[in-house]
Structure 1
């Protein structure tokens, strides 16, 4: 355990959250014209927020709001107090820009120290950080967190996979931090060299995130490297990586709710949903100075779990993100998330979890092609055997997801790899 607050009693945590929420509401109302206007439209004053339940009275914040006030319009401190700026890629418009004060950076380091501690990391460990550095929050977020606990950090960033393999072996890396798809790619490259994973690598755990991941993919990453799999969740608008992480006792992720207050809402109505019900994750930052965010709609689909965890941490947990509201694809009226397709693929032996979903129109109907790489180990002696595998997957997708698909089995490593988030969907209808 990095911080005793992770095991706080419910009453103690609730009191802290209410205190921090009311301070944050007062801050944004006083210092951000955008929020003052939103509050006034709803006829809400900071004094109206007296309990956690009152958070329902507050307006939502969306990614577009940050773009509309690009670059620094939602900051509550002068730039002289901003020590770091990050931003998104801006692939769908203006990038979202986020800023950090010195205290914000201390909070970020704190929550990332909790993440590394959950993964069993100490100052004796060597962390290989294959997240991208630069304006993306992943690389530097992990970097500072590793330094906070005193671990040795290797800032390898993404790409140059042959070199990644060499450094991991030669430096005796014990913790890998990367996207799960890139972790598999590194393993593929290492396998091609004939590497003996047990003898040549010292990995004991990995911290993976930045993309929705099925249980099958997690198991494959853990198996190929022989390590404990820890999932981290975060987003730049809130802080970066470090909003939540899974411990050794649960695949669910502990949310550090002394800093980030979570809700689950119906993405269509905006109404709060009960624990255990899947919906859109909404987060309110409780301690941010430079860019406090009220009820930020993450677009991520998950659920909240409050049953006790064996590790002793008492904070609410979240289910692994099953997809995004905006990543969801609608196939002839059926809602489908890539992670659901991935789960079906993971049930079939002989296939890798490198796949791509291609959506197109055939007349007035949607057509769904799924390209799936076969694994190096698979031995298929006949065209008939290949056809059987394809038909089995198509049948399982129809039975479980109610979608008709055209499955295409392709050669190993024939689908283009990404050094960051895997590109799973190509929607040609757009």
Structure 2
């Protein structure tokens, strides 16, 4: 994790506010130890209590924020309601634990005034610290002195040629008590060995596009939440908060409604533009519902983007 911090430019002069959860898992403590490894001051806020997060951010001069990207949006909202960014010294954000798009990155950077870095890890291989972005933001460098990476066909498990999208598979190289061999992460990405301008010797994978088990099949079309997030980020007024609601009435086709928050004077026009953009880009007819900012529930950890009512409506779920 110290290497993750170095890749993001964190030094002993920084104050790192760690808003990942501390508990019986590796997230919060992994980031904490990484910040200490480079000599930074750590503010171990853990997740939640948003108003206190903002207060400490100002009072202690936080320069580096660590949390999930969805919680970064929550903090940005809180700042806008409390004197804006006045007195805030943020310059770097280290975000992970959930897929996020370049569109969401742009919103976070604009609202928080920082440079956002993506990181990757999973508990089964030791938590955060498997891979991280450098200042070029052209993929995440896999720390290959600790992990060996492959991409396979998610259906057959067959290794794929470099450059083809598939499921990331990882093998640990340093663990002794509990080595992990060819662990299927369920995360979708693309591997590349093209040299990076930053000079790192490690291969990269492109940003995680979603999980193979997050894929929605709607009227025969395979779609992922990340596709919708990228499209929505292009609309003015969208604040990054959305959910996808899938339903199926008896003897009828699946329906998908995109519910999003946006600050707009013409909700109906925006809804029509969203429907058209999704139909033209993804090939799926959906309904769209624009909501006032603050209506959708907020997450202090990983955001829940999909609500699937189909099991309940078909009677296949538990009584």
Question: When the two structures are superposed, what TM-score results if normalisation uses the length of structure 2?
Answer: 0.95
Aligned partner of 1:315 in structure 2 is 202
Of 38, 46, 68, the match for 1:179: 68
Of 266, 273, 276, the match for 1:395: 276
The 5 A counterparts of 1:22-421 are 112-195=1-84, 197=85, 199-362=86-249, 363-375=251-263, 378=264, 380=265, 385-421=266-302
Aligned partner of 2:316 in structure 1 is none
Q: CA deviation at 1:183?
A: 0.7
* Alpha-carbon distance in 2 for matches of 1:269, 1:186: 41
* Alpha-carbon distance in 2 for matches of 1:371, 1:184: 17
Contact kept? 1:238, 1:293, Cα under 8 Å? yes
Q: Which runs of 5+ in 2 are unaligned?
A: 312-319
**Residues 227-262 of structure 1, C-alpha deviation per residue, up to 9 Å, x if partnerless?**
111000000001101100101112310000111100
Partner SS for 1:264: strand
Q: CA deviation at 1:371?
A: 0.6
**Residues 326-368 of structure 1, C-alpha deviation per residue, up to 9 Å, x if partnerless?**
1111111111110100011011111121000111103331110
* Alpha-carbon distance in 1 for matches of 2:137, 2:238: 27
Question: When the two structures are superposed, what TM-score results if normalisation uses the length of structure 1?
Answer: 0.71
Q: CA deviation at 1:290?
A: 2.5
**Residues 185-224 of structure 1, C-alpha deviation per residue, up to 9 Å, x if partnerless?**
01101111123x1x41111101000111011001111111
Q: CA deviation at 1:399?
A: 1.2
Partner SS for 1:241: strand
Aligned residues between the structures: 310
Partner SS for 1:394: helix
**Residues 58-98 of structure 1, C-alpha deviation per residue, up to 9 Å, x if partnerless?**
xxxxxxxxxxxxxxxxxxxxxxxxxxxxxxxxxxxxxxxxx
* Alpha-carbon distance in 1 for matches of 2:178, 2:223: 34
Q: CA deviation at 1:386?
A: 2.0
Partner SS for 1:156: coil
Partner SS for 1:340: helix
Greater Cα radius of gyration, structure 1 or 2: 1
Displaced runs of 4+ in structure 1, greater than 4 A?
none
* Alpha-carbon distance in 1 for matches of 2:4, 2:55: 26
Contact kept? 1:261, 1:284, Cα under 8 Å? yes
* Alpha-carbon distance in 2 for matches of 1:228, 1:251: 14
* Alpha-carbon distance in 1 for matches of 2:25, 2:286: 35
* Alpha-carbon distance in 2 for matches of 1:273, 1:150: 41
* Alpha-carbon distance in 1 for matches of 2:293, 2:27: 29
* Alpha-carbon distance in 2 for matches of 1:332, 1:135: 40
* Alpha-carbon distance in 2 for matches of 1:215, 1:335: 21
Partner SS for 1:358: strand
Aligned partner of 1:40 in structure 2 is none
Contact kept? 1:250, 1:309, Cα under 8 Å? no
| Greater Cα offset, 361-370 or 262-271 | 361-370
Contact kept? 2:73, 2:240, Cα under 8 Å? no
Q: CA deviation at 1:147?
A: 1.1
* Alpha-carbon distance in 2 for matches of 1:190, 1:250: 26
